[in-house]
Structure 1
Amino acid sequence: MSGQKIYEGILPVHKPEGVTSADVIRKLQRHFKPSDTFQGYLENETSRRSRDSNWQTRKKRRKLLHPDVKIGHGGTLDPMATGVLITGIGVGTKHLSKFLECSKTYETIIVFGAETDSYDRMGKIVRKADYEHVTRELVEEAMKKFRGKIMQRPPIFSAKRIQGKRLYEYAREGIEPPMAIKSSAVEVYDLRIVEWYEPGTHEYKWPEEELPAEEKEVAERMLDKEAAIPVASEAEAEAAQANTAAEDTKKRKVSPDILNEASEGVKDDAATKRQKTDTQNLNPESTTEEPNVVKKEHNTAKTDEAKESDPITIPAEKEEEAPRPPAAKIIMTVSSGFYVRSLAHDLGKAVGSCALMSELVRSKQGDYTLEPENILEYKDLDAGEEVWSPKVIRLLEAWQEKNP
């Protein structure tokens, strides 16, 4: 043993857009293992393993002699999202569960007038709707129903499992899950608009690609499920869940078996065209063969009584114009298990239109905030150990002092 100090604990990292949470862990590993900063940790780990009979087998011998810095994270962020990603180093990995359960603060940009299969700008457009009636006042009124305890349905492109298969896998194959997607009870502690963007005053846009016609029908059916349901107690949450499940059963006009058979020719083609590396935000990738068609037609004059499940169709002549939708920057503090993408989608329905999430920043998780002195910048890793090491040591030592 060299007597070098052992650094471990909780390390918040500022995740940039375009990388997965797993990418962050791998990059930390690549920089930490060969560094002088973590030699004390690695020597201690080698010594510990040499005394542990479980590491004496030939199969584990190499890992005994060449350990990695143990690193995990306390809750993923989608590739398009930025902000606080909590990582655990060494013994810190045992404390990550508390960050899965803690409250989180997000800042998001929601753009109205269109919805995608993934509920965000990384997906492909399923439907467009009129947005001329959408005002800040209308949105603020609709937001009242999303505060407090609500039942929220996960996005169809999420890692939730149904019968052992993730939801995004069903979506990529263009088929509905064999049973209803269950809503979950979540809580919204704070939800407010911090900036409103009138049409034509911002650069947030819808995606350009639309789903192919053969996949759009299933996507529309899944997107038309009921939006978030406000609840006042756990008992009411259970009752709301039961009612939602009953409604889902009623709405299923075609059995899962028939659906599977009908989409058999689509599955192989869709599966080969669509690939994405992160399980939190996998989106289909295929070319649009025909323009988006919205089957329902409604009066474009919409008031505060606009129904959440009744989006207004854009008249044909407007589809040729460049979209100039309104958008809003919204800040929220929410419980664990909350999907910001679902909020964007449901809020669009609540104002009689459609909406998608265009930007997302996690600005706080637990006690860790997105402030330069409180977080490791991802870009600092490439700047060299002399840049990132002092901040990493300071953050880990601060955690060790609080958790002796």
Structure 2
Amino acid sequence: MRLSPALWKMSTEAVLEGVFAISKPLGMSSAQVIRDCQQYFNPSTYFKPLVEAQVDKLRNESQTSYKKRRLAKRSAQVKMGHGGTLDPLATGVLILGIGSGTKSLQSFLDCTKTYETIVLFGAATDSYDRTGRILTKRPYDHITRELVEKEMDNFRGKFEQIPPLYSALKMEGKPLYEYAREGKPIPREIIGREVEVKELELLEWFEPGTHNHRWPTAEAETAEKNLAEQVWRVEKNQANARKLTPEEAAEDDKAVTAHEAMKRQFDVRQDELVRDIPPHKRRKPSKNPALMSGALGQLPASPVPGRGSNLVQTPSADAPLPWTDKGPAAARIRMTVTSGFYVRSFCHDLGQKVGSAGLMAELSRPRQGDFSLGVNCLEYADLSKGEKEWAPKVSKLLAEWQAKHPYPVRTQPAFRTDRNQDFAKAKRPRQVSPSRSNDNGQAESSKRVKAEEQQPESVADKPTEQQSIPASGDEAPQKQAEESGGV
């Protein structure tokens, strides 16, 4: 196969590791996006040097041939991670790290993010979005744009936010949804998070009957509804700085205990978001040899369909209406928030503030940190167009990151296994036999140093077995790069 000049140049030059952003499509988990990227990146020409470098490094570090084979098999793919999950219901910027760039992903958990969401009023669900099950329905005819804009003032600046009931956030060592699943009482003091909304703007107002957003049709069970009412009452009491009275606490315990025997299995979408684990079943290896991405035409949109794909479906405009009148209003709202902010909680709480209920119908993240859609973000659809389409774009994004965050760059000649083995041997410290140490615990090498200091200059200048001999030719910079962490 003959490579194009552009791909050949990229394959022979340095491979830039770092961070870039990709536009995540609807219905896909963050972990699935990484698996899809690896399916395109692993067999590519562009990332071949990086994969070989990872394999060689692990082989040289392992002690046995069994470990070498096992590590080589596990490392034969591009090392990747993400800078914070993005809901399957959401679209937008998902930050990914490649190689050494994964070490920088932690910083993106604390950066500001911009979201756009659509709040649909009149109903609340167990997941606080349109994919959950109905917990309660409230009147909505009185909701106006002016009322919503007025109540939005409660969410500007810093405040304590209570996480959603079925989020993956743990309380007292157990996720909140486990309390509902097991029918056990939740902690009396639900720990809120201090968050900050730096910007909040109502972008678009949808009058009743002018939009296609729908409530879900599935209703929650009675036990779920009772537990949700308990959670919301605790939240309200905490917000008003009032503790539960003994009578209220006993009433809550009685209501929850009555349903403890019920064993219910919930379809927890928030849990799938964080714990997106691939199936334990091993896939059979493909009979076809690995080819360069795009060499034989377009690849499928999702090369590894699994639990992380098609988690959320686009609502159908032909679906029957869950109301008999014009239905509730909806609002598109944009916000810039700090780390730890739950957009679905904002939608739920805003519905309560306007005297009704609310859920998150849509969610998009157009910006996270320095990455923005349409500016410096790779389109997910570019992956299926082949390496000639995505490789130059990824290279450009990684080069921009490298220019702002310089660190040692891997180069093609640095991947020779024989040199790595020679340098690994050269870096091994000289072992001193315990039998050659004196009674004071000093090594025999200390005596040699003193003896050399007493020798004439002509003798001391000569290299001894204790002095390192510098590498010659092109091996000198190679060894220096290795010792500085560049290989």
TM-score bracket for the superposition, by shorter chain length:
0.7 to 0.9
* Deviation for aligned residue 1:251: 8.6
What is the identity, as a one-letter code, of the residue corresponding to 1:192? E
Determine the structure 1 residue equivalent to 2:387: 385
Distance 1:222 1:275, change over 3 A: closer
Alignment CA distance shift 1:50-1:400 (3 Å):
same
1:262: which partner in 2?
258
Task: List per-residue Cα deviations over 1:373-393 (Å, max 9, x = no partner).
Answer: 511112222222222212111
Cα gap change, 1:341 to 1:32, in 2 (>3 Å): same
Report the residue type matching 2:358 in the other structure: A
Task: Say if 2:113 is the partner of 1:111.
Answer: no
Unaligned runs of 5+ in 2: 1-10, 276-321, 407-487
Q: Deviations over 1:118-177 (max 9, x none)?
A: 111011111111111111111111111110001000001111112322123333445442
- Alpha-carbon distance in 1 for matches of 2:169, 2:273: 9
RMSD: 2.7
Partner of 1:128: 137
Distance in 1, matches of 2:29 and 2:100, equals 23
**Structure 1 residue 252: deviation in Å?**
5.5
Equivalent in 12, 16, 31 of residue 21 of structure 2? 12
Shift of residue 215, structure 1, vs aligned partner: 2.2
In structure 2, the residue matched to 1:376 is 378
Shift of 1:3: 5.0
1:2-401 map, 5 Å: 4-53=13-62, 56=64, 58-59=66-67, 61-64=69-72, 67=75, 68-226=77-235, 247=243, 253-254=249-250, 261-267=257-263, 270-271=264-265, 274=267, 276=269, 278-280=271-273, 321-322=324-325, 324-371=327-374, 373-401=375-403
Give the aligned partner of residue 288 of structure 1: none
Same amino acid, percent of matched pairs: 49
8 Å CA contact retained: 2:120, 2:331: yes
Question: Could you say if the C-alpha distance between residues 225 and 177 of structure 1 is closer, same or farther in structure 2, counting changes exceeding 3 Å?
Answer: closer
Assess, with a 3 A threshold, how the Cα gap between structure 1 residues 9 and 259 changes in structure 2: closer, same or farther.
farther
| 1:250 Cα deviation after fit | 6.7
CA distance in 2, matches of 1:252, 1:25: 48
Q: Indicate how the Cα distance of structure 1 residues 398 and 340 shifts in structure 2: closer, same or farther if over 3 A, else same.
A: same
Q: Residue 250 and residue 33 in structure 1: after superposition, are their counterparts in 2 closer, same or farther (change >3 A)?
A: farther
Please say if residues 204 and 332 of structure 2, whose CA atoms lie closer than 8 Å, have aligned partners that are also in contact.
yes
- SS of residue paired to 2:327: coil
Q: Residues of 1 paired with 2:272 and 2:153: CA distance?
A: 32
Q: 1 CA distance for matches of 2:72 and 2:227?
A: 51
* Cα pair distance change 1:222/1:185, threshold 3 Å: same
- Distance in 2 (alpha carbons) for counterparts of 1:177 and 1:334: 28
Residues 3 and 125 of structure 1: is their aligned pair in 2 closer, same or farther, counting only changes over 3 Å? Answer: same
TM-score scaled by length of structure 1: 0.79
Give the equivalent residue in structure 1 for 2:485: none
The whole-number CA distance in structure 1 between the counterparts of 2:247 and 2:334 is 34
Name 1:312's counterpart in structure 2.
none
Does structure 2 conserve the Cα–Cα contact (< 8 Å) formed by 1:108 and 1:331?
yes
Task: Tell me the distance in 2 between the aligned counterparts of 1:203 and 1:13.
Answer: 28
Q: Residue 286 of structure 1 corresponds to which residue in structure 2?
A: none
Q: Following the alignment from structure 1 to structure 2, what is the Cα–Cα distance between the partners of residues 323 and 176?
A: 39
Contact 2:203 2:332 in 1 (8 A): yes
Between 375-384 and 85-94, the greater mean CA deviation after superposition: 375-384
**1:287 alignment counterpart:** none
User: Which of structures 1 and 2 has the bigger CA Rg?
Assistant: 2
Any unmatched runs of 5+ in structure 1?
Answer: 230-239, 283-318
Q: Which letter maps to 2:93?
A: V
Q: Specify the code of the residue in structure 2 equivalent to 1:328.
A: A
Q: Which amino acid aligns with 1:62?
A: R
